[in-house]
Structure 1
Amino acid sequence: MAGTVPRDRPERRSPGELESEVLATLWATEEALTPGEVQTELSGGLAYNTVHTILRRLYDKGLVIRDAHGRRGAYRPAKNAAESTAEAMHQALYRGPDPIAALQQFVTGLSPDEERALRDFLGGSRP
């Protein structure tokens, strides 16, 4: 049947989804990983070349760095997960014409725990 995925092939992931999975794999360890090690950690039977391409794209975007002090060909995140998420949030906030309105909309969608954490942070001193 046209348009269906064969049963023996996993559903195709989007490039952004693959990049997120690779970054999550790198954030989950303290050491730099080679493309082969990342491939092993990921589920879904990705080809080595696919993983290597994703790592090169992340490198080109400045999201990962090649480990200069360790094993050749190993990668590690340029920033931790919280720093990367905060940077993406800042970029999204200033992408639109009214960052204050966007921030207000964001805050109204917070869970009670997230709102409490934000209030605690704003009420205290900044790190």
Structure 2
Amino acid sequence: MRLGHLERSIMETLWQHPDGMFAQQLADALPSKPAVTTVLTVLVRLSHKELVSRHREGRAHLYKATEDRDAFVAESMRVALDQAGDVEAAVMRFVGTVSPEVTAALRAALREHELDGDPR
């Protein structure tokens, strides 16, 4: 799932604060210093995408990321591969662009996946 610049900034900030933040706190924490109303609009959008949850605390809402950054990245990768016309070609091209560390992580994940006997 692709995120706009402000959506990404808000998610990065929420991932750094797993206990959640209020809209005013988020607006103050963002480098671009957007208006609170702008942050609230983006939070509603992220809520519709099921990336953010909100819980009333007094007169305000506390916003939290619904999943951690790693889960978001993994899901984004899965969605991107689902959209590829030729999955094998897309994976080969991807593997050809990553660092040796990522290649090693992919190999380890595949070995673990095979050992688990997961049929996916």
* TM tier relative to shorter chain: 0.7 to 0.9
Provide the residue aligned with 2:79 in structure 1.
Answer: 91
Q: Give the TM-score normalised by the residue count of structure 2.
A: 0.83
Q: Which of 38, 44, 59 lines up with 1:56 in the alignment?
A: 44
Q: Give the TM-score normalised by the residue count of structure 1.
A: 0.79
Tell me: higher relative CO, structure 1 or 2? Use CA pairs within 8 A at least 6 residues apart.
2
Structure 1: 5+ residue stretches without partners: 1-14
Deviations 1:16-75 (A, max 9, x none): 01100000000001211111010111112211111111111000111111136x564111
Say what the alpha-carbon RMSD is for the aligned residues. Answer: 1.7
Runs of 4+ in 1 over 3 A off after TM superposition: none
**Percent same amino acid at aligned positions?**
32
User: Does 2:28 match 1:45?
Assistant: no
Larger radius of gyration: 1
Q: Higher helix fraction: Structure 1 or Structure 2?
A: 2
Q: Which whole-Å CA distance do the structure 2 matches of 1:107 and 1:67 have between them?
A: 41
Provide the residue aligned with 2:22 in structure 1.
Answer: 34
Q: Higher strand fraction: Structure 1 or Structure 2?
A: 2
Are 2:55 and 2:62, in contact at CA under 8 Å, matched by a contact in 1? yes
Q: How many residues align?
A: 111
